[in-house]
Amino acid sequence: MNCRFSIKDLEKLSGIKAHTLRIWEQRYGILQPERTDTNIRWYCNDKLKHLLNVTFLYQHGVKISKIATLQPAEVAEEVNKIVDTETNVCDQVKGLVISMIELEEERFEKIITNNIRNQGFNYTIEQIVYPFLNKIGVMWQTGSINPAQEHFISNLIRQKLIVAIDGVGVSKNSKAKKIVLFLPDGELHELSLLYFNYLLKSKGHSVIYLGQSVPMNDLKKVTEIRKPDILISVFTHIIEDPESLIKDLSIFFPDTSIFLSGCQVINKITKLPGTVKLFSTPQELLDLIENN
């Protein structure tokens, strides 16, 4: 899939103003556009990759006149040198974006492993991976990535989360709070839920992870068997009527606290049943559980 990007798309993705990009084109020969039959300018995937690398070096103090003398492979090599040693959050996120676009597992592994080693797993997920996932959302909106690229990077992150979860083990505390994690029917974006699974297990809670696309009847059966204290879910996928779904959850599980997050409910749902609360960050979730 070879996407076509306008100069406005490049501005949004790189953070460099369109006016500056045009100057770079005219003065330094960077990012020469393709043109349609009607003379409309557009840019391909390779031009986007190159621009992200150029921007990375430029924001690290390399003069654009110097960058213009380098071949794309040389620009990418200089970026790799910085990524290997840089700890700035913004730079790490940009490095992950480049690794996703180029389907480059080695760069992803370096960034994630170095951050886990130096800052810890929680910091890496919350301060590096979360902003990166938000960036992916913007790129989806502009058509800047294709499904293969998204699946590639999501599965790498998923592997890291599963290894971390496996390392925590199962709580043996009989007094631990029983928590069910699930995604509603049709919801497949589980990275946040997987992290909550790790986070809650590491805090000693008894977690039942149901995962993606759980029908309401299946959720009812689980709660009948385990009688959880708390239900947690994330609504990311477009839901036709999220308010009705939330109301149903409160009716079907009247004695259970329900904590919800995701772009389909945060800042969109204002009236909530008494047993339902919203959270935006992992720390807010931990606070809700602590006060439950």
84, pLDDT greater than 70: no
Q: What is the mean pLDDT of residues 261-265?
A: 86
User: Can you tell me whether residue 167 is helix, strand or coil?
Assistant: helix
Q: Which of 141, 145, 132, 133 is nearest to 103 (CA)?
A: 145
Q: How far is CA 70 from CA 30, 54, 58, 62, 161, in A?
A: 10, 10, 13, 12, 38
**CA dist 53 → 47, 62, 64, 216, 282 (Å):** 10, 12, 12, 46, 32
More confident residue, 61 or 181: 181
Strand extents, DSSP E, the chain: 34-35, 41-42, 178-184, 206-214, 230-234, 257-261, 276-278
Rounded mean pLDDT, 157-167? 94
* 3-class SS of residue 257: strand
The mean-pLDDT minimum among 53-57, 58-62, 145-149 falls in 145-149
pLDDT of residue 2: 56
The angle at the Cα of 38, spanning 32 to 40, to the nearest 5 degrees, equals 35
Residue ranges and CATH numbers for the domains of the chain are 1-85 (1.10.1660.10), 86-168 (1.10.1240.10), 170-291 (3.40.50.280)
| Cβ 16 vs Cβ 151: under 8 Å | no
Mean pLDDT for all residues in the chain: 86
CB atoms within 10 A of CB 68: 14
Q: How many CA atoms lie within 13 A of 166 on its CB side?
A: 6
pLDDT tens by residue, 5-19:
788 878 877 778 888
Grouping H, G, I as helix, E, B as strand and the rest as coil, residue 209 is strand
Residue 38 has pLDDT above 90, yes or no: no
**Rounded CA separation 271/278 (Å):** 11
pTM > 0.85: yes or no: no
Q: Does residue 168 sit in helix, strand or coil?
A: helix
When mean pLDDT is compared across 23-27, 49-53, 196-200, 223-227, the lowest value belongs to 49-53
Torsion of CA 105, 13, 90, 187, to 10 degrees: -60
Q: In Å, how far are 83, 198, 213 from 113, measured between CA atoms?
A: 12, 17, 30
Are 262 and 245 within 8 A, CB to CB?
Answer: no
Contact 215, 184 (CB under 8 A): no
What pLDDT shows up at residue 142? 56
- pLDDT at position 56 is 80
177-198 pLDDT tens trace = 899 999 998 888 899 999 999 9
Angle between helices 191-202 and 282-291 (to 10 degrees): 50
- According to the model, what pLDDT value does residue 238 have? 65
- Tell me the residue type at 16: I
DSSP secondary-structure letter at 232?
E
Rg, C-alpha atoms of the chain: 22
pLDDT band at 1 (very low <50, low <70, confident <90, very high): very low
pLDDT at 220: 95
